């Protein structure tokens, strides 16, 4: 059987990481099995659906690295849903209801007050033709409910295992609103049939919907697909993620510097017992994908872990993977030696600009002891410099100054880089070169460490009047 899955967001907001995880799991499953991945916009809610959100959803998915074999919009297939509705009506599986929202809410509250579940009482089934004509003459327009068979619905969930839900414990779902527009249930079933969807992978908040959709599919003479319901992501406090929490939307994460593959590796691993797999590509990630690895426990989204993974991902990138990005940033002197020297000190890719300044531009050094710095400058060996230059130079400084350990290395690092921490100086020094090293060690307008802001990027000479903190970790 050829595998076909779908990701079916409503274009009513930006994608958050929970949506992205669902899309990713579907994509990985499809690619693992050589199948199709369909992007379907469930946009039958015309009041809330917006084209801007439809565009942003596609943009966010592309940023994450996901492509699709087919894109579709439900709003383009309303006649198909009407035909399916007529089939259900001819089969006696839908019936008109005339209660207003206020009347339904009153019924719901009465049932809850009596300690009973708020299940629709099917009162509309008892209406006569005369009753319906009278209601419609008074201006009532019916909404239409699907009449559930009140037996157990069973399926073997690929994540939750064998499932059995009694349809008699839920209300007959509304398929068509009073204004004639369709809700989620029927269009989703019709499109799954039309697209040949074989597996539905989604959040566990849809478990009850699955009970309904299985019955709708069978009423339309079509076997249901396989289902997999994964637990929903929450934040660390256990609060569910939603479109209204802007800090975890994909565009927000991209803007702060999260790498797409780092996010993909994190989302693919969360909910399993395995650590994130920092694969070079999504295709590599798909080859080891197994939906059976996902458990029933609630996975918690931890941005701190994601940032840690982001830094680890950057450390794995070879020069060929970053050269074009560095040059697009105007860092034209960057080369493999530079990238290999600084990549282990990056939390986000943009931090590389600070270390580029350290290696190739004029920065404002930090010098607490000008006499020591000048003496060290006098001992700088002639070029060319290699990885061995740092050891040879500092050995000469030790012999002249008698300094060792932190008293030796800290002032040299501050003078050469303007930072307390960073890449190994044996790799940075050849990049900095003798001319810049001399200028920094002998600078007359240097800062002092007492005036140094915490975790600052090196202050460029042009910015010396207003030094301030940057975004790098140092």
- Token readout for 219 is 């009423």
| Residue 37 reports pLDDT greater than 50 | yes
Do residue 304 and residue 374 come from a single domain?
A: no
Confidence band (pLDDT; 50, 70, 90) for 459? low
- The confidence score (pLDDT) of residue 461 equals 54
Task: Verify that 263 and 361 share a domain, yes or no.
Answer: no
Q: What is the DSSP string of 7-28?
A: E---SSS--BHHHHHHHHHHHH
Structural domains in the chain (count): 2
Q: How far apart are CA 444 and CA 421, in angstroms?
A: 23
Q: Is the peptide bond before 37 cis (omega within 30 degrees of 0)?
A: no
The C-alpha atoms of residue 113 and residue 178 are separated, in whole angstroms, by 28
Are residue 15 and residue 55 in the same domain, yes or no? yes
Residue 211 domain-assigned (yes or no): yes
Residues 379 and 434 in one domain: yes
For residue 71, the SS3 value is strand
Please answer whether residues 423 and 345 qualify as being in contact, where contact means their C-beta atoms are separated by less than 8 angstroms. Answer: yes
| 150 is a domain residue | no
Q: Check if the beta carbon of residue 21 is closer than 8 Å to that of residue 7.
A: no
CATH of the domain at 410: 1.10.10.350
> pLDDT-derived band of residue 473, with 50, 70 and 90 as boundaries?
very low
* Residue among 431, 422, 415 at smallest CA distance from 354: 422
pLDDT in tens, 334-374: 999 999 999 999 999 999 999 999 999 999 999 999 999 99
Residue 423 DSSP code: S
Q: How confident is the model at residue 300 (pLDDT cuts 50, 70, 90)?
A: very high
- Kindly state whether residues 46 and 191 are assigned to the same domain: yes
Length of the chain measured in residues: 474
Residue 144 maps to a domain: no
Angstrom distances, CA of residue 141 to CA of 46, 135, 224: 19, 8, 32
Start-to-end CA distance of the chain, whole Å, equals: 53
Shared-domain flag, residues 187 and 244: yes
Task: Examine the domain organization and report whether 300 and 241 are in the same domain.
Answer: yes
* Statement to judge: residues 423 and 393 lie in one domain: yes
Cα torsion through 220, 224, 225, 229, rounded to 10? 120
Same domain, 214 and 351: no
DSSP state of 220: T
Judge residue 163's burial from the number of C-beta atoms within 10 Å of its C-beta, 0-12 exposed, 13-18 middle, 19 or more buried: middle
Spell 371-409 as b/e; 16+ CB within 10 A means b.
ebbeebbebbeeeebeeebbeebbeebeeebebeeeebe
Q: Identify whether residues 308 and 336 lie together within a single domain.
A: no
d(CA 190, CA 19): 22
Is residue 196, in this structure, part of any structural domain at all? yes
CA distances from 236 to 280, 299, 301, 304 (A): 28, 9, 6, 11
**Can you give the residue range of the structural domain that contains 200?**
1-93+182-316
Which of 288, 316, 344 lies at the terminal end of a domain, its last residue?
A: 316
Label the pairing between strands 174-176 and 199-203.
Answer: unpaired
Question: Strand, helix or coil at 316?
Answer: helix
347 and 448 both lie in a single domain: yes
The per-residue pLDDT for range 66-77, each reduced to its tens digit, is: 999 999 999 999
SS3 call for 203: strand
Strand 70-73 vs strand 94-97: parallel, antiparallel, or unpaired? unpaired
Same domain, 191 and 47: yes
Are 393 and 380 in contact, with CB atoms under 8 Å apart? yes
Instruction: Note whether residue 74 is domain-resident.
Output: yes
Q: What is the pLDDT of residue 456?
A: 47
For residues 4 and 452, the model is more confident at 4
In a domain, 85, yes or no: yes
Residue with tokens 């007359």: 444
Could you tell me if 355 and 343 are in contact, meaning their C-beta atoms sit under 8 angstroms apart? Answer: no
Residue 222 included in any domain = yes
149: in domain = no
Residue 447: pLDDT band by 50, 70, 90 thresholds?
confident
User: Of 316, 341, 376, which residue sits at a domain end?
Assistant: 316
Distance CA 441, CA 130 (A): 98
CA distances from 361 to 60, 217, 267 (A): 36, 66, 39
Which residue, 262, 289, 316, sits at the end of a domain? 316
What is the domain-level CATH number for residue 247?
Answer: 3.40.50.620
For residue range 182-229, list pLDDT tens digits in order.
Answer: 999 999 999 999 999 999 999 999 999 999 999 999 999 999 999 999
**Residues in Cβ contact with 60 at an 8 Å cutoff, skipping those fewer than 6 apart:** 14, 15, 20, 249, 250, 251
Tokens for 154, please give them: 């069973």
**1 pLDDT band (50/70/90 cuts)?**
low
Q: Which two tokens mark 117? A: 């579940």
Residues 473 and 345: beta-carbon distance below 8 Å: yes
Q: Coil, helix or strand for 98?
A: coil
**Over 50: is that where the pLDDT of 113 sits?**
yes
Q: What confidence score (pLDDT) does residue 465 get? A: 42
Does an H or E element contain 107, and which?
A: helix 101-113
């Amino acid at each position: 059987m050829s595998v076909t899955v779908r990701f079916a967001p409503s274009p009513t907001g930006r994608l958050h990481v929970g949506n992205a995880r669902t899309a990713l799991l579907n994509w990985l499953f499809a690619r693992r099995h050589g199948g199709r991945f369909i992007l379907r916009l469930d946009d039958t809610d015309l009041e809330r659906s917006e084209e801007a959100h439809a565009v942003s959803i596609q943009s966010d998915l592309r940023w994450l690295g996901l492509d699709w074999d087919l894109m579709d919009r439900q709003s383009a297939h309303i006649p198909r849903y009407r035909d399916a509705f007529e089939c259900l009506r001819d089969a006696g599986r839908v019936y008109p209801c005339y209660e207003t929202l206020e009347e339904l809410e009153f019924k719901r509250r009465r049932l809850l007050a009596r300690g009973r579940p708020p299940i629709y009482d099917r009162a509309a089934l008892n209406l006569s033709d005369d009753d319906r004509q009278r209601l419609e003459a008074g201006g009532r327009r019916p909404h239409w409910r699907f009449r559930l068979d009140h037996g157990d619905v069973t399926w073997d969930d690929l994540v939750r295992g064998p499932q059995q839900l009694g349809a008699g414990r839920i209300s007959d779902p509304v398929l068509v609103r009073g204004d004639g527009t369709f809700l989620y249930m029927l269009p989703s079933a019709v499109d799954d049939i039309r697209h040949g969807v074989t597996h539905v992978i989604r959040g566990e908040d849809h478990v009850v919907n699955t009970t309904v959709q299985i019955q709708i599919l069978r009423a339309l003479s079509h076997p249901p697909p396989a289902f997999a319901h994964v637990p929903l992501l929450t934040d660390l406090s256990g609060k569910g993620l939603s479109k209204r929490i802007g800090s975890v939307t994909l565009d927000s994460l991209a803007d702060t510097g999260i790498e797409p593959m780092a996010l993909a590796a994190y989302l693919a691993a969360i909910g399993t017992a395995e650590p994130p797999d920092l694969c070079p590509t999504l295709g590599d990630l798909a080859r080891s994908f197994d939906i059976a690895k996902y458990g029933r426990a609630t996975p918690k989204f931890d941005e701190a872990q994601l940032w840690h993974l982001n830094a680890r991902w950057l450390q794995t990138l070879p020069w060929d993977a970053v050269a074009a990005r560095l040059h697009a940033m105007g860092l034209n002197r960057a080369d493999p030696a530079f990238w290999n020297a600084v990549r282990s000190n990056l939390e986000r890719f943009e931090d590389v600009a600070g270390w580029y300044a350290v290696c190739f531009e004029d920065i404002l050094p930090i010098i607490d002891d000008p006499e020591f710095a000048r003496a060290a400058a006098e001992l700088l060996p002639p070029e060319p410099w290699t990885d061995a230059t740092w050891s040879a130079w500092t050995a000469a400084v030790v012999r002249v100054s008698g300094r060792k350990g932190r008293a030796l290395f800290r002032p040299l690092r501050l003078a050469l880089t303007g930072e307390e921490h960073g890449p190994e100086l044996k790799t940075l020094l050849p990049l900095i070169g003798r001319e810049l090293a001399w200028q920094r060690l002998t600078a007359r307008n240097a800062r002092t460490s007492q005036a140094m802001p915490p975790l600052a990027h090196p202050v460029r000479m042009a910015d010396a009047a207003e030094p301030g903190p940057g975004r790098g970790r140092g």
